[in-house]
Amino acid sequence: MNLTKLSSIFQRVRRNISTSPYLHLAATATIAFSLLVIGVFAMLYVNISALIHSWQQDVRVVAYLKDELSEEWVESLRQSFAKLNGVEEVTYVSKDEAMARLRRQMKHRLSLLEGLRENPLPASFELQLVHGAQTPENLDLLASQLRGFPEVEDLGYGETWFNRFSGFIGFFRLASLIIGGLVIAITVFVCANTIRLTLYAKREEVEIMRLVGATDAFIKTPFYVQNLIEGLLGGLVALVLLFGSFKFLIARIQTPDALLSSCDIRFISFTWCAALLAAGMFVGWFGSYLSLKSFLRS
Amino acid sequence: MITGTGAEPVIQLFHVHKRYGSQTAINDINLTVTKNDFVFITGPSGAGKTTLLRLLFLQEAVSEGQILVNGINLQRIRRAKIPLFRRSMGFVFQDFRLINSYTVYENIALVLETTGQDIRHIRKKVPHVLRMVGLEDRIHAYPPRLSGGEQQRVAIARAAVSNPFILLADELTGNLDTDAADMVFGLLRQLHSRGTTIIVATHDSRLFDKARARIVFLNQGRLEGETKS
Ligand SMILES: Nc1ncnc2c1ncn2[C@@H]1O[C@H](COP(=O)(O)OP(=O)(O)O)[C@@H](O)[C@H]1O
Ligand SMILES: [Mg+2]
């Protein structure tokens, strides 16, 4: 590839775009839109994953104890629990402390608790799982071990929401893949079509080029370059729009007294951004490839 | 077999036939063109002149027989090698085949761009060849704004710009006025003097005295004879 061919390629790219600017604008917009959709899914995925991760830090099993256990007994239980597989930390909550917590939570409806003659709340141990091993399986394993203790009357752990959420994340991932794939396929189709239309408009020119000794590569390259540029441009537009709406959203919901103020929404990583740009260029390239493959055979 | 005077054969046709369905456009032609020949192929409309040139340029494949160009059998040239093969030739098409959205300059420069020649060379070479056909002042015009004769001269300039080994010109005719015809043949003679082999198809016998050449008669796809001008 020398300077002459390079300048010839870019002249033809410029010509292609200037003869049908709206076609190429539409193609770029389509790429931008589909990458934006994918970017939104990426944002959701990244943030939901982060949220779930932070919840996992907090996964614990509560073992409610039978009443009237002696202090020594409780102490020996604590030591046995601490030795169980996967347990990071064991915290004892006495009956009185449980009641104190309840009072704190219900401080506006204390009257409801007035009528109680004795404390109905059980003492309990809270077992924190080892960091990094907070999977539903480990949780179940620990629970079944705890059920083997006669002193444990009942267990409390977020097994249902936890499992449901793991399931949801799997479903979300699948749905994202399907929607992403669909959007990409449509965009490839649109890109292939802009090339097909351009080729059709330029069939005479292409035919003449062949007659004067142009190779297929010489003829094809501008169409690839043109779609690569549109893919890159579409990717940049999508990223700018995504970042813009992200900033807008952040400004809206992170007011001091809002419900979600503690929520830490983050933007997709640099790798994700690069992947979106690469996806845009791939879509453009592949669209060109599909159209050119059949066209130049004829 | 009708042969030229030189020693080195550049184009050889052996029992070449070209059929379109039941129609025979070229019928059992044997012909040898040697290096630096100047050949007129003449004959009435429909004689097969265009078809013969298209066969030489690999725009069509023979139905039967063999064509050798520089000793290479055209049937053996792979598709991917056709561009390379065509670059060694210049072709003036009957309908000119200029790109209407390219200026005269761009049309001619394209030939040199495909071979990746230096831009500075292209910028010098294109005006030079246009001057030879008297169109230097139309260098930035678009073909649809030119007369038929002017378009033909651009087509000739484009075919000549790469100093081709063989130049094929289809139907150089009365589209050209006397001055233009003189310029065109001046260019062809210059190429010829540099060793280019030239084949001109025409049904216009007035062109024969423009060059010392072999004149080959074609009729209904058959080669009927040859003289010299
Ligand atoms: N692509 C084609 N399909 C069918 N018939 C053709 C085709 N090209 C040429 N012919 C026929 O072949 C014969 C020779 O045509 P052509 O080579 O164009 O003659 P000339 O150039 O001498 O006027 C004509 O009868 C023409 O109708
Ligand atoms: Mg003809």
The interface pTM score, or ipTM, of the predicted complex is: 0.91
Report the distance separating Cα A56 and Cα A157, nearest Å: 12
Would you state the pLDDT for residue B47?
A: 95
Q: Candidates B23, B53, B93, B219: which one to mutate for ligand 1, based on the most atoms within 8 Å of Cβ?
A: B23
Are A71 and A47 in the same domain?
A: no
Chain A residues with CB under 8 Å of B87 CB are 213
Are A174 and A279 in the same domain?
A: yes
Question: What type of residue is A275?
Answer: A
Are A151 and A168 in the same domain?
A: no
Of A245, A231, A182, residue with least CA distance to A43:
A245
Report the distance separating Cα A219 and Cα A96, nearest Å: 84
Bridge partner list, B68 = B12, B73
Q: How many domains does chain B have?
A: 1
Q: Which residue has the tokens 């930390």?
A: A89
Q: How many domains does chain A have?
A: 2
Are A42 and A95 in the same domain?
A: no
Are A102 and A184 in the same domain?
A: no
Bridge partner list, A129 = A87
Are A150 and A21 in the same domain?
A: no
Q: Which domain holds residue B134?
A: 36-47+83-228
Report the distance separating Cα A247 and Cα B36, nearest Å: 75
Report the distance separating Cα B50 and Cα B93, nearest Å: 9
Q: What is the CATH number of the domain that holds A123?
A: 3.30.70.3040
State in Å: Cα B201 to ligand 2 middle. 8
Q: Is the C-beta atom of B19 inside 6 A of ligand 1?
A: no
Whether A112 contacts A106, CB under 8 Å: yes
Is B78 a member of any domain? no
Written as tens digits, the pLDDT of chain B (229 aa) is 444 455 689 999 999 999 999 999 999 999 999 999 999 999 999 999 999 999 999 999 999 999 999 999 999 999 899 999 999 999 999 999 999 999 999 999 999 999 889 999 999 999 999 998 999 999 999 999 998 889 999 999 999 999 999 999 998 876 677 777 888 888 888 889 989 999 999 988 888 888 889 999 999 999 999 988 8
Are A93 and A213 in the same domain?
A: no
How many other CB atoms are there within 10 angstroms of residue A51's CB atom? 15
pTM of the model: 0.77
Q: Nearest-CA distance from A187 to chain B in Å? A: 30
- C-alpha distance across the termini of chain B, in Å: 19
Boundary-marking domain end, from A156, A179, A211: A156
Q: What is the CATH number of the domain that holds B171?
A: 3.40.50.300
| Residue A15 contacts B where some CB pair is shorter than 8 Å | yes
Q: Is the C-beta atom of B44 inside 6 A of ligand 1?
A: no
Is B7 a member of any domain? no
Are A51 and A72 in the same domain?
A: no
Of B206, B177, B198, residue with least CA distance to B10:
B198
Would you state the pLDDT for residue A201?
A: 87
Q: Nearest-CA distance from A200 to chain B in Å? A: 14
Angle (CA) A3-A9-A13 rounded to 5° is 145
Has residue A297 got a pLDDT over 80?
A: no
| Residue B59 contacts A where some CB pair is shorter than 8 Å | yes
Would you state the pLDDT for residue A172?
A: 83
CA distances from B121 to A290, B109, B112, B155, B179 (A): 36, 10, 9, 20, 29
Instruction: Identify from A14, A210, A212 which residue to disrupt to test chain B contact, counting B C-beta atoms within 10 A and taking the largest count.
Output: A212
Are A174 and A259 in the same domain?
A: yes
| Residue whose CA lies nearest to ligand 1 atom number 17 | B48
One DSSP character per residue, A11-44 reads HHHHHHHHHSHHHHHHHHHHHHHHHHHHHHHHHH
Are A195 and A96 in the same domain?
A: no
Size of interface A-B (CB pairs under 8 A): 59
Q: Which domain holds residue A107?
A: 60-156
Boundary-marking domain end, from A156, A184, A210: A156
| B6 vs A14: which has the higher pLDDT | A14
Boundary-marking domain end, from A156, A181, A201: A156
One DSSP character per residue, A197-243 reads HHHHHTHHHHHHHHHTT--HHHHHHHHHHHHHHHHHHHHHHHHHHHH
Chain A residues with CB under 8 Å of B117 CB are 4
Ligand 1 closest atom vs CA B44: 22
Are A13 and A93 in the same domain?
A: no
Whether B203 contacts B183, CB under 8 Å: no
**What is the per-residue pLDDT across A41-76, written as a single tens digit (0 to 9) for each?**
888 888 887 777 766 666 778 888 888 888 888 888
Are A97 and A126 in the same domain?
A: yes
Helix (H, G, I), strand (E, B) or coil at B65: strand
Return the H-helix or E-strand segment holding B24: strand B23-34
Is B123 a member of any domain? yes
Is B164 a member of any domain? yes
Please report which confidence band the pLDDT of residue A1 belongs to, taking 50, 70 and 90 as the band edges.
low
Whether A272 contacts A42, CB under 8 Å: yes
Kindly state the tokens that stand for A157: 């752990």
| Residue whose CA lies nearest to ligand 1 atom number 18 | B50
Whether B114 contacts B83, CB under 8 Å: yes
Nearest to A4 among B87, B98, B117 (CB): B117
Kindly state the tokens that stand for B46: 């429909």
